[in-house]
Amino acid sequence: ELEKRLALETTVLISKFTLPDGRVIKVGRERFEAPECLFNPSLVDVESGGMGALCFDCIHKADIDTRAEFYNHIVLSGGTTMFPGLPSRLEKEIRKNYLQIALKGNVQQMRKFKCRIEDPPRRKHMVFLGGAVLAEIMKDKRAFWMNKDE
């Protein structure tokens, strides 16, 4: 949030990026507006909960006995999760939802709540790697594949 405000008020956070065709562009506040759509989809006219709300809802719908484990083992994967500050912002949003919805504002109970966001450094390619591993495991199982005619 501080970086976003600085980008609006100064030119300090303007960054230059080289596009694949060699052109160089300057990017300022856009660097912060793009990832903000993940947490506030209404900015781009999408009627859906943000990333934090969706994670919270998904875990909250799980069996009560498994929720603590889920909150403690959230693993990020994919290139979109590489935005700077995304893991801490996601944790902040989940904690906010947990306090408001699960604890109904009871701040005292919040001390017991544990939330851990795992953000492996190679998460940009984890989706592909997972698919590649699954394909390797299933390569000899005909029932999992279809040919062009099917």
The dotted CATH code for 50-142 is 3.30.420.40
* Contact by Cβ (8 Å): 94, 71: yes
Mean pLDDT of 119-127: 92
Portions of the chain given CATH number 3.30.420.40: 50-142
Q: Given this model, what pLDDT does residue 4 score?
A: 59
Only one residue has tokens 């904690």, namely 95
The count of C-alpha atoms lying within 13 angstroms of the C-alpha of 15, restricted to the half-sphere facing its C-beta, is: 11
Helix (H, G, I), strand (E, B), or coil: what is residue 75?
strand
Mean pLDDT of the chain, nearest integer: 89
Q: Under CATH, which number does the domain 1-48 receive? A: 3.90.640.10
Query: How far from 121 is each of 75, 79, 87, 144, CA to CA, in Å?
Result: 11, 11, 12, 31
pLDDT, one tens digit per residue, over 56-94 is 999 999 999 999 999 999 999 999 999 888 999 999 999
